[in-house]
Amino acid sequence: MRENFLWGVALSASQAEGGAFLDGKGLVMDDVVSNVHNERYQATSNLDIALGKTYDYYPSHNAIDFYHRYPEDIRLFAELGVKALRTSINWARIYPKGTETEPNEAGLAFYDRVFEECLKYDIEPVVTLNHFNTPLENYYSGGWKNRELIDQFVKYAKTVFTRYKDKVKYWMTINEINMILSLPLVGGLINPSKETNVDQAKYQGAHYQLVASALAIKIGKAINPDFQIGCMMGAGVTYPYSCNPADVWKAYQENEKEYALIDVQVKGRYPHTFKAMLDRKGLDLDITDEDMDILQDNTVDFVGLSYYSSRLVAAEPSNLERAGANLNSTLKNPYLPSNDFGWQTDPVGFRITLNELYSRYQLPLFVVENGYSALEESDNDSIQDEYRIGYLHDHLVQLKEAIADGVDVIGYAPWSGMDIISASSGMIEKRYGLIYVDLDDEGNGSLERVPKKSYYWYQDVIHSNGANL
């Protein structure tokens, strides 16, 4: 690995912090959905279901209390040896409804403290501006399909870029920007069950997110030209189910769909297939000449990505078995093993994905999420998570292969530094962490942090700069 490789760990604000009502914070989607009664999955497609209910317990209200425990948590990350902490700012802590003219000072002060704690240990904060945290107030006006959101986002970006210009160098604008195409509510606060034309709403929302991201880059570079500002893709190569050309064409189209938004962030223009896709679907988007100039002039410095697995598609999928995944569900690949939650594992797909991304974009890649979830219980002994070590080991082997292939990778941050609330299930039960957190799905537990076996394994990987795998 290169000498200054950014070995890291990853978290996100609303999955870790808690403090949902503290110090003037506004609400985000996570604060009004709950895993209780297993309605989370429905609620993440139709937020009205969650808004109409009062649940017994909302995991994100306290989450793992990173809000108060960040000094201990960052110390544990420092002892792990990380050079980078990939986290996010909860937008609603800074502008509770999004529309305020003045930011919330208490929210800004919290992230000052977090970033200062990182810098104390020479840990580089790598900060996402919006990790599924658009202020909830915007849901009632249709989410990101409103052009108004661009101004709100730019105002917020300007505030935090100005405030943290000497503390944070690495930024990403929008987490998994392609998420809006598969889960418009999670990615864009757009409720598909309320839309007469879901494609129109989500592609419009995606375009406004792209313009907002580009304008943020413009402002960020003016505030500090040394900022490194990236995009962030939910990545994972899509395979054809067979060598039937109809399956191959389907896989090609799926890959193009996932890359389309990243193409804009890297190259400043939509791919050649985009207009034809809009025409075929009969979509008419509000895309102005001025928007296109903004996109062309303000592209990213690096490509951040999450990778959990590859995906599989077929031209005729109806009778084929499906598997879980972090964006779309996928067909089940008979060559791949699955974890406790039905997500499949494909380290070689990681090498393919990294090569594809690099060959398409020729920009440094930063792996800001990669990890393995499992059901785990601890009686305060360290968890012997050999399966997670196996997953991370196999992916790091393929990452090294990709680097040997010629791919420029600047960092790697497994998801997640410690157990946090899962984005899709809303449960702590779905654990990804290198550090166990004593908390259950009813909110019981001491919140004590106990490093797992994978923590010590990763510590050795970092200390040897990837030599000891």
Which of 35, 213, 306, 398 is in the footprint of ligand BG6 by CB under 6 A? 306
CB 119 within 8 A of CB 161: no
Give, rounded to a whole angstrom, the gap between the first and last alpha carbons of the chain. 12
Active-site annotation holder among 17, 117, 124, 176: 176
**Interface region with ligand BG6, contact rule CB under 6 A, candidates 63-71, 164-172, 198-206, 423-431:** 423-431
Q: Give 240's strand partners.
A: 313
Q: Please, which residue, 273 or 424, has the CB nearer to ligand BG6?
A: 424
CA atoms within 13 A on the CB side of 467: 5
- Cα–Cα nearest to 350, from 322, 370, 364, 373: 370
Place of tokens 């951040």: 304
328 in contact with ligand BG6 (CB under 6 A): no
Q: Please, which residue, 268 or 426, has the CB nearer to ligand BG6?
A: 426
133 in contact with ligand BG6 (CB under 6 A): no
Q: Which class for 439: exposed (0-12), middle (13-18), buried (19 or more C-beta within 10 A)?
A: buried
- 176 annotated active-site: yes
Which of 123, 403, 423, 437 is in the footprint of ligand BG6 by CB under 6 A? 423
- Cα–Cα nearest to 402, from 354, 467, 348, 359: 354
CB 260 within 8 A of CB 271: yes
- 401 annotated active-site: no
Minimum separation from the CB atom of position 280 to ligand BG6 (A) = 28
247 in contact with ligand BG6 (CB under 6 A): no
Which of 1, 7, 8, 12 is in the footprint of ligand BG6 by CB under 6 A? 12
CB 378 within 8 A of CB 435: no
- Alpha helix locations (H) across 56-134? 59-62, 66-80, 91-94, 105-120
Binding-site string for ligand BG6 from residue 189 to residue 228, where x marks contact by CB under 6 A and - marks none: ----------------------------------------
Active-site annotation holder among 137, 254, 369, 429: 369
Cα distances (Å, whole numbers) of residue 253 to 154, 249, 317, 329 = 32, 6, 15, 16
Sequence-separated (6 or more) residues with CB below 8 Å from residue 338: 323, 324, 332, 344, 345
Binding-site string for ligand BG6 from residue 387 to residue 416, where x marks contact by CB under 6 A and - marks none: ----------------------------x-
Binding-site string for ligand BG6 from residue 157 to residue 186, where x marks contact by CB under 6 A and - marks none: ------------------xx----------
Minimum separation from the CB atom of position 413 to ligand BG6 (A) = 12
373 in contact with ligand BG6 (CB under 6 A): yes
Strands (E), 108-210: 124-130, 170-174
> What is the footprint of ligand BG6 within residues 69-128 (CB under 6 A)?
none
35 in contact with ligand BG6 (CB under 6 A): no
430 in contact with ligand BG6 (CB under 6 A): yes
3-class DSSP state of 177: coil
Number of residues located near ligand BG6, criterion CB under 6 A: 14
234 in contact with ligand BG6 (CB under 6 A): yes
Determine the Cα–Cα distance for residues 290 and 274; give it in Å rounded to an integer.
Answer: 18
422 in contact with ligand BG6 (CB under 6 A): yes
Binding site for ligand BG6 (CB under 6 A): 12, 15, 175-176, 234, 306, 326, 369, 373, 415, 422-424, 430
Which residues are part of the catalytic machinery? 176, 369
